[in-house]
């Protein structure tokens, strides 16, 4: 009996990435992922928090879940974009449909994360790490946003692996790797 293999696919900075991709598809010339930008609340009504931030905004100290007011104090040139849940659902559904090519055992963990039970698919598609790289690269090249893919023997290990370093990475955390990969952390 083959040991269980789980892949965890996690979109990098989903709300901001999906907003950026959607804006680019609509003709915007600037990729907001490379600007001081956040997805967040309504400044006019002085409500809301940062739901997602670009890397330049992160370098200014902007963090997820802080108020827009606080984020703007850290980053005065911040561009704030409203959440667009229909856009997020569209890109999430596209990713999910693509992932269904590799297993019929997929669990949506959230709008931007899926677990794939790859155990039964191994015979058809082969090495799970090679497939993880294919998934990562296909999503980047065909959909315009990046993901991390974690590979492990269960959901916990796969999810932990996908969080090791970001963005656009593949990591493994199999049971026999815990001592070497987790203990130093």
Domains and CATH numbers, the chain: 6-12+85-182 (3.30.70.270), 17-81 (3.40.1170.60)
66 is catalytic: no
Q: Give the pLDDT of residue 2.
A: 65
DSSP code, position 102: S
Q: Which residue blocks in the chain are alpha helix, DSSP H?
A: 14-25, 55-59, 68-74, 85-99, 122-125, 128-143, 155-162, 178-182
Predicted structure pTM score = 0.90
Regions of the chain where pLDDT drops below 50: none
Would strands 37-40 and 79-81 be described as parallel, antiparallel, or unpaired?
Answer: parallel
pLDDT tens, residue by residue, 30-71: 999 999 999 997 767 767 899 999 999 999 999 999 999 899
Neighbours of 109 (CB within 10 A): 14
Q: Give the pLDDT of residue 183.
A: 81
Q: Give the pLDDT of residue 122.
A: 84
User: Each residue of 10-42: b (16+ CB within 10 Å) or e?
Assistant: bbbbbbbbbbbbbbeeeeeeeebbeebbbbbbe
Q: Which residue blocks in 144-175 are alpha helix, DSSP H?
A: 155-162
Q: Give the pLDDT of residue 1.
A: 53
Of 3, 43, 66, 113, the catalytic one is 113
């Amino acid at each position: 009996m083959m040991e269980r293999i789980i892949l965890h696919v996690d979109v990098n900075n989903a709300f901001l990435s999906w907003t950026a991709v959607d804006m680019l598809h609509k003709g915007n010339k600037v990729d907001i992922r490379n600007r001081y930008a956040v997805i967040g609340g309504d400044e006019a009504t002085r409500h809301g928090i940062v739901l997602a931030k670009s890397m330049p905004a992160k370098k200014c100290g902007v963090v997820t879940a802080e108020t827009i007011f606080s984020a703007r104090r850290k980053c005065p040139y911040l561009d704030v974009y409203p959440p667009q849940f229909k856009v997020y659902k569209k890109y999430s559904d596209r990713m999910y449909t693509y992932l269904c090519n590799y297993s019929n055992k997929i669990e949506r963990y959230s709008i931007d994360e899926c677990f794939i039970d790859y155990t039964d698919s191994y015979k058809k598609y082969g090495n799970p790490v090679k497939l993880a790289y294919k998934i990562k690269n296909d999503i980047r090249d065909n959909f315009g946003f990046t993901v991390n893919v974690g590979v492990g023997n269960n959901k916990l290990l796969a999810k932990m692996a996908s969080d090791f370093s970001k963005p656009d990475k593949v990591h493994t955390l199999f049971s026999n790797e815990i001592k070497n990969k987790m203990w130093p952390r």
